[in-house]
């Protein structure tokens, strides 16, 4: 464990003393390029590997950073340190505009838009008189650091690698934080994250902007390292190469960016010498080799090369450092017996199918209500209408005295409603504890900057103490460090309940929580639900298991074919001949 926490400082120290050792200039130059490329592919790790958004246009952001600094420092005479911030501001502005236009669309719009943006910027740079057209800008001034010139490549090396290592550390910190978990949740679709109060659009934009910033910093360094800029290093082909580096190195891993950058840079140089000799004419044949390698990587090692390196590094489980942390703030709770949820004639039509047909019911604070009915009766759809996951065709939902129909699910979550899903929705590659901590999103506030600088540790401790407490409640502390994807279905459902509880809800919506549980687990779950009720929590429960429901709930609503069939106490419902015929008759 200690070895692992020393791995980064040792690596960073080794990298930074390198230029003072008798390493040939050639290797220093190579490492400079590797550092510059790694910065760009680090952005792609965040954007593509973690958030699941593909960009071919990162080279254009590099160009934006490089040209901005070259032009301003050369022609206008602005200090090269200031131009960094101008370049960053431009990259952020462009990324925000591009993101606002494309990130809401699904599927292939973002990759296509980044290709268009990559081409557009390339041709702009190539055709602008004031940017020197295809020749670019020559004689870009070197950076000065308190009177020391960074014209020397060994001096530039130090700057490039300080920036690259700091960025790697920042992204590592980010991924292990509140905003980082929100970004990691993006790949699994937006429904669950939104139901936990996370604006998925905001975090897509965040990832896109951060990737653009990393590329722009790389461009700034590039301009003052090469001391000249021209359009060719910022072409679409280079954008594709950056993506290739990330995928080859391991697009889901911070150090995959560095591995990929190193391997591509070193192999590319070899191939540029070797291939023309083999083929007999010169040309960019390495592209063909890279294409073939990419196909092989995607087929045989879709996670890239880094995991093969990682296997030799000692693993580091999350330290349990939250003992005695101050509890997170709690919400004000509704008055026991007051009207909590009033569902008024909600309706949902999917084309010609009326899945929920003007269904009404209400829950008072402190009650457990059961929603039962045969498969396809419309129970889950009703849940989705109440929690804002689906939009209402008509009707209204009033929660704690306020109409919430038509609000997005994250707004309804903010008002104290939390839910689980019939088909478990989780982040399989996060631990159980991290998944549960997603539920505490709205009770915490750290943003990207705090996370990168590790100023969020106190809040994180409070959050993880809460997550662990909720897991303890359902008897799952033993599994808290396991990856959620490795759990059996039953424990996954329990984990979802803990996640919903972590939001500190006033109303808990559970969609078939006991499905897939063993008898003992069911009994334990029923005990937990009774205890929650005793603590004043209100619960709306969809369940198939009659025994489970009957012993637990205060009221039952029976649905069939989208309509409300009967409502009443468990005894009334059991005695109802209509229910026997319609529901019990078909199920048993
Ligand atoms: P239950 O949870 O009671 O088993 P559901 O609410 O899942 O039932 O489904 C009710 C009906 O609505 C079913 O006929 C189902 O096929 C249909 N349905 C549910 N979701 C959709 C959807 N997104 N698009 C079209 N039909 C749907
Ligand atoms: Mg259902």
Instruction: Round to whole Å and give the CA distance between 446 and 67.
Output: 34
Ligand 1, atom 15: closest residue by C-alpha: 376
Ligand 1, atom 20: closest residue by C-alpha: 381
Q: Quote the tokens at residue 148.
A: 């020391």
Q: Does 145 sit in the ligand 1 pocket, CB within 6 Å?
A: no
Instruction: Round to whole Å and give the CA distance between 147 and 160.
Output: 18
Return the ligand 1 atom nearest residue 350 CA. 25
Q: Does 319 have pLDDT greater than 90? A: no
Strand order of the sheet with strand 417-419? 417-419, 507-511, 538-542, 368-372, 555-560, 563-568
- Closest alpha carbon to 428 in 199, 198, 187: 187
- What are the helix and strand counts (H, E) for the chain? 24, 14
Q: How many residues does the chain have?
A: 588
Return the ligand 1 atom nearest residue 384 CA. 6
Q: Which of 371, 377, 378, 383 to mutate to test the pocket of ligand 1 (most atoms within 8 A of CB)?
A: 378
Q: Quote the tokens at residue 461.
A: 């401790």
Does 444 reside within a domain? yes
**Domain termination residue (choose one: 293, 310, 327):** 310
Ligand 1, atom 18: closest residue by C-alpha: 355
- Ligand whose nearest atom lies closest to the CA of 375: 1
Do 139 and 124 share a domain, yes or no? Answer: yes
User: What confidence tens digit (pLDDT) does each residue in 271-309 have?
Assistant: 888 887 887 777 777 778 888 888 888 888 889 999 998
Ligand 1, atom 7: closest residue by C-alpha: 380
C-alpha 199 – ligand 2 centre gap (Å): 25
- Give, in degrees to the nearest 5, the angle at Cα 379 between 378 and 384: 95
Ligand 1, atom 19: closest residue by C-alpha: 381
C-alpha 339 – ligand 1 centre gap (Å): 28
Pairing of strands 339-350, 394-399: antiparallel
Return the ligand 1 atom nearest residue 378 CA. 6
State pTM to two decimals. Answer: 0.93
Instruction: Please report the pLDDT score of residue 1 as a whole number.
Output: 45
- Name the H helices within 45-106: 58-71, 80-102
Instruction: Please report the pLDDT score of residue 432 as a whole number.
Output: 96
Averaged pLDDT for residues 349-356: 94
User: What confidence tens digit (pLDDT) does each residue in 60-72 have?
Assistant: 999 999 999 999 9
Q: Does 536 have pLDDT greater than 70? A: yes
Q: Does 119 have pLDDT greater than 80? A: yes
Q: Does 387 sit in the ligand 1 pocket, CB within 6 Å?
A: no
Ligand 1, atom 23: closest residue by C-alpha: 350
Q: Does 346 sit in the ligand 1 pocket, CB within 6 Å?
A: no
**Backbone φ, ψ for residue 313 (5° rounding):** -95, 140
Q: Quote the tokens at residue 540.
A: 């709306």
Do 456 and 387 share a domain, yes or no? Answer: no
Instruction: Please report the pLDDT score of residue 234 as a whole number.
Output: 93
Q: Does 584 have pLDDT greater than 60? A: no
Do 145 and 103 share a domain, yes or no? Answer: yes
Question: If 0-12 CB within 10 Å is exposed, 13-18 middle and 19+ buried, where does residue 571 land?
Answer: exposed
**Backbone φ, ψ for residue 508 (5° rounding):** -110, 130
Sign of CA dihedral 14, 19, 22, 25: positive
**Backbone φ, ψ for residue 17 (5° rounding):** -85, -15
Q: Which of 348, 355, 422 to mutate to test the pocket of ligand 1 (most atoms within 8 A of CB)?
A: 355
Do 460 and 493 share a domain, yes or no? Answer: yes
- Closest alpha carbon to 174 in 166, 513, 339, 558: 166
C-alpha 414 – ligand 1 centre gap (Å): 26
Q: What percent of the chain has pLDDT over 70?
A: 97
Does 183 reside within a domain? yes
Least confident of 12-21, 103-112, 318-327, 487-496: 103-112
Q: How many other CB atoms are there within 10 angstroms of residue 334's CB atom?
A: 21
- Closest alpha carbon to 554 in 371, 333, 338: 371
Do 305 and 371 share a domain, yes or no? Answer: no
Do 375 and 456 share a domain, yes or no? Answer: no
Instruction: Please report the pLDDT score of residue 583 as a whole number.
Output: 61
**Domain termination residue (choose one: 477, 501, 525):** 501
CATH of the domain at 162: 1.10.3470
Instruction: Round to whole Å and give the CA distance between 488 and 523.
Output: 18
Do 232 and 162 share a domain, yes or no? Answer: yes
Instruction: Please report the pLDDT score of residue 2 as a whole number.
Output: 60
Does 316 reside within a domain? no
C-alpha 20 – ligand 1 centre gap (Å): 67
Return the H-helix or E-strand segment holding 276.
helix 254-279
Instruction: Please report the pLDDT score of residue 15 as a whole number.
Output: 95
Contact in structure between 540 and 363 (CB atoms under 8 Å): yes
Ligand 1, atom 17: closest residue by C-alpha: 355
Contact in structure between 228 and 139 (CB atoms under 8 Å): yes
**Domain termination residue (choose one: 476, 501, 526):** 501
Q: 14: pLDDT confidence band, cut at 50, 70 and 90?
A: very high
Query: What integer best gives the mean pLDDT of the chain?
Result: 92
- Give, in degrees to the nearest 5, the angle at Cα 145 between 139 and 150: 45
Q: What is the domain extent for residue 75?
A: 2-310
Q: Does 379 sit in the ligand 1 pocket, CB within 6 Å?
A: yes
- Closest alpha carbon to 471 in 499, 429, 438: 499
Q: How many other CB atoms are there within 10 angstroms of residue 58's CB atom?
A: 32
Domains: count for the chain: 3
Instruction: Round to whole Å and give the CA distance between 324 and 320.
Output: 11
Instruction: Round to whole Å and give the CA distance between 200 and 410.
Output: 10
Q: What's 45's DSSP letter?
A: I
Q: Which of 381, 419, 511 to mutate to test the pocket of ligand 1 (most atoms within 8 A of CB)?
A: 381
Do 127 and 250 share a domain, yes or no? Answer: yes
Does 424 reside within a domain? no
Q: Quote the tokens at residue 56.
A: 């071919």
User: What confidence tens digit (pLDDT) does each residue in 470-482 have?
Assistant: 999 988 999 999 9
C-alpha 559 – ligand 1 centre gap (Å): 13
Do 551 and 576 share a domain, yes or no? Answer: yes
Instruction: Please report the pLDDT score of residue 332 as a whole number.
Output: 86
- Name the H helices within 375-485: 379-387, 409-414, 432-438, 448-452, 457-473
Q: Does 375 sit in the ligand 1 pocket, CB within 6 Å?
A: yes
Q: Does 350 sit in the ligand 1 pocket, CB within 6 Å?
A: yes
Does 300 reside within a domain? yes
C-alpha 497 – ligand 1 centre gap (Å): 22
Instruction: Round to whole Å and give the CA distance between 577 and 256.
Output: 64
Averaged pLDDT for residues 576-581: 80
- Helix, strand or coil for residue 339? strand
Q: How many other CB atoms are there within 10 angstroms of residue 116's CB atom?
A: 16
- Chain Cα centroid distance, residue 300: 25
Does 321 reside within a domain? no
Instruction: Please report the pLDDT score of residue 55 as a whole number.
Output: 92
CATH of the domain at 410: 3.40.50.300
Instruction: Please report the pLDDT score of residue 588 as a whole number.
Output: 44
Do 285 and 161 share a domain, yes or no? Answer: yes
Instruction: Please report the pLDDT score of residue 585 as a whole number.
Output: 55
C-alpha 541 – ligand 1 centre gap (Å): 17
Q: Does 380 sit in the ligand 1 pocket, CB within 6 Å?
A: yes
- Give, in degrees to the nearest 5, the angle at Cα 366 between 569 and 540: 65
Contacts of 92 (CB under 8 A, 6+ apart): 209, 212, 213
Does 411 reside within a domain? yes
Return the H-helix or E-strand segment holding 433.
helix 432-438
C-alpha 11 – ligand 1 centre gap (Å): 54
Ligand 1, atom 25: closest residue by C-alpha: 350
User: What confidence tens digit (pLDDT) does each residue in 374-412 have?
Assistant: 889 999 999 999 999 999 999 999 999 999 998 999 999
User: What confidence tens digit (pLDDT) does each residue in 434-469 have?
Assistant: 999 999 999 999 999 999 999 999 999 999 999 999
Q: Where are the beta strands (DSSP E) in 309-376?
A: 339-350, 353-364, 368-372
- Ligand whose nearest atom lies closest to the CA of 355: 1
Do 13 and 145 share a domain, yes or no? Answer: yes
**Three-state SS letters, 500-531:** HHCCCCCEEEEECCCCCCCHHHHHHHHHHHHH
C-alpha 484 – ligand 1 centre gap (Å): 27
Does 540 reside within a domain? yes
Q: Does 348 sit in the ligand 1 pocket, CB within 6 Å?
A: no
Do 527 and 460 share a domain, yes or no? Answer: no
Return the ligand 1 atom nearest residue 375 CA. 4
- Closest alpha carbon to 311 in 366, 241, 250, 380: 250
Instruction: Please report the pLDDT score of residue 418 as a whole number.
Output: 96
């Amino acid at each position: 464990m200690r070895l692992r926490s020393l791995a980064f400082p040792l690596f960073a120290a080794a990298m930074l003393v390198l230029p003072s050792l008798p390493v040939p200039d050639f290797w220093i130059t190579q490492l400079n390029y590797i550092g510059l490329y790694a910065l760009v592919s680090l952005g792609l790790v965040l954007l593509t590997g973690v958030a699941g958004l593909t960009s071919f246009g990162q080279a254009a952001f590099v160009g934006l950073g490089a040209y901005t600094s070259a032009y301003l420092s050369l022609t206008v005479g602005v200090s090269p340190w200031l131009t960094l911030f101008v370049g960053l501001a431009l990259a952020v502005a462009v990324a925000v505009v591009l993101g606002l236009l494309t990130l809401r669309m699904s599927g292939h719009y973002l990759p296509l838009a980044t290709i268009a943006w990559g081409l557009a910027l390339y041709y702009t740079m190539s055709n602008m008189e004031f940017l020197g057209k295809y020749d670019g800008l020559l004689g870009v001034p070197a950076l000065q650091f308190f009177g020391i010139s960074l014209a020397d490549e060994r001096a530039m090396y130090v700057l490039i690698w300080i920036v690259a290592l700091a960025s790697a550390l920042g992204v590592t910190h980010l991924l292990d934080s509140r905003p980082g978990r929100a970004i990691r949740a993006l790949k699994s679709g937006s429904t669950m994250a939104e139901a936990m109060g996370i604006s998925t659009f905001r975090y897509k934009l965040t990832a896109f902007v951060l990737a653009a910033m990393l590329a722009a910093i790389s461009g700034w360094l590039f301009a003052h390292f090469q001391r000249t800029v021209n359009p060719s290093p910022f072409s679409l082909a280079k954008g594709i190469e950056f993506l290739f580096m990330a995928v080859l190195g391991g697009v889901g891993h911070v150090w995959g960016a560095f591995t990929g950058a190193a391997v591509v840079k070193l192999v590319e140089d070899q191939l540029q010498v070797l291939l023309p000799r083999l083929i007999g004419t010169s040309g960019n044949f390495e592209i063909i080799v890279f294409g073939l390698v990419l196909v092989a990587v995607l087929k045989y090692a879709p996670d890239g090369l880094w995991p093969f390196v990682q296997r030799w590094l000692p693993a580091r489980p999350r330290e349990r450092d939250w003992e005695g942390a101050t509890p997170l703030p709690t919400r004000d709770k509704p008055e026991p017996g007051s009207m909590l949820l009033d569902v008024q004639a909600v309706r949902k039509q999917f084309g010609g199918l009326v899945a929920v047909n003007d269904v009404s019911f209400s829950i008072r604070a402190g009650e457990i209500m059961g929603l039962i009915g045969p498969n396809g009766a419309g129970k889950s759809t009703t849940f989705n209408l109440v929690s804002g996951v689906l939009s209402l065709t008509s009707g209204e939902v009033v929660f704690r005295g306020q109409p919430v129909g038509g609000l997005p699910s994250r707004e309804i979550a903010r008002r104290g409603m939390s839910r689980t899903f019939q088909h478990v929705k989780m982040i399989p590659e996060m631990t159980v504890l991290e998944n549960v901590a997603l539920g505490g999103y709205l009770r915490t506030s750290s943003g990207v900057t705090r996370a990168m600088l590790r100023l969020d540790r106190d809040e994180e401790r409070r959050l993880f103490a809460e997550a662990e407490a909720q897991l303890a409640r359902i008897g799952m502390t033993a599994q808290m460090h396991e990856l959620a994807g490795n759990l059996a279905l039953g424990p996954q459902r329990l984990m979802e309940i803990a996640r919903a509880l972590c939001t500190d809800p006033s109303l808990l919506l559970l969609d078939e929580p006991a499905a897939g549980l063993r008898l003992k687990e069911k009994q334990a779950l029923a005990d937990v639900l009774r205890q929650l009720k005793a603590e004043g929590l209100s619960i709306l429960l969809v369940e198939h298991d009659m025994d489970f429901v009957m012993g637990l709930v205060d009221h039952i609503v029976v649905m069939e074919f989208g309509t409300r069939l009967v409502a009443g106490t468990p005894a009334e419902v059991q005695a109802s001949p209509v229910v026997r015929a319609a529901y019990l008759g078909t199920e048993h």
